[in-house]
Chains A and B, each alone.
Chain A
Amino acid sequence: SAVISQKPSRDICQRGTSLTIQCQVDSQVTMMFWYRQQPGQSLTLIATANQGSEATYESGFVIDKFPISRPNLTFSTLTVSNMSPEDSSIYLCSVVLDSITEAFFGQGTRLTVV
């Protein structure tokens, strides 16, 4: 497995501000993803974080709202921009190691926007 460190673990933010979430892995990984879990809901994929290039976003998610960086094979950031209360969710990074048999998650970031 891999040790995945996600920061911050939780935050309370004012509407209109932005928050950057970090995901650090202790080994090089093939794929990194960002998911959102709205209150009482299941997980939804936001985007695939591509190393050295622009992220690939799923339908309903745009780069201006959720800019993502992945400068190397062990680190990625997700920014939630111009936040509104509807962005209150748990945000989770996920990594795939050598093959699809190994897909793990960070501890999650519980975001509350007031």
Chain B
Amino acid sequence: AQKITQTQPGMFVQEKEAVTLDCTYDTSDPSYGLFWYKQPSSGEMIFLIYQGSYDQQNATEGRYSLNFQKARKSANLVISASQLGDSAMYFCASAGDSSYKLIFGSGTRLLVRP
């Protein structure tokens, strides 16, 4: 079974500052992927970044990077140079490489202050 834990229900960050959103996971799959999605108030789920369990390097996509610590079972999202448009819900998710089913955490609401 898989479980995703996001312990920060809400976060504030000042515009142009960096912010880290926490995510820990528990999985029995030997090979798996970790995802971060952004959900604005419109409800759509926007894919941000992916990290494979066997990837040696941390994933990066523009201002997003994933701090992957396999031994600690953590996959924190780092957003650099926050923008007002980054205000949204952020969900961490995992999926086994065999099932492809995404299991989501409870989410973190990020508010960027001007």
Contacts and interface: CB of A to CB of B under 8 A. Distances in A.
Contact of B45 (A1, A30, A48, A108): A108
Interface string B42-83: 111111001010000000000000000000000000000000
A110 to B, nearest CB: 6
Nearest to A41: B106
14 contacts: A1-B47, A31-B100, A35-B102, A37-B43, A45-B101, A94-B102, A96-B100, A100-B33, A100-B97, A100-B100, A103-B47, A105-B37, A105-B46, A110-B43
A58 to B, nearest CB: 8
Contact of B105 (A42, A96, A104, A106): A42
Interface string B85-111: 000000101010100111111110000
A92 B43 CA distance: 9
Nearest to A106: B44
Interface of B: 33, 35, 37, 42-47, 50, 52, 91, 93, 95, 97, 100-107
B102 A33 contact: yes
Interface residues of A, number: 26
B4 to A, nearest CB: 9
A105 B91 contact: no
Nearest to B55: A101
A110 B45 CA distance: 13
A43 interface: yes
A102 to B, nearest CB: 8
B74 to A, nearest CB: 18
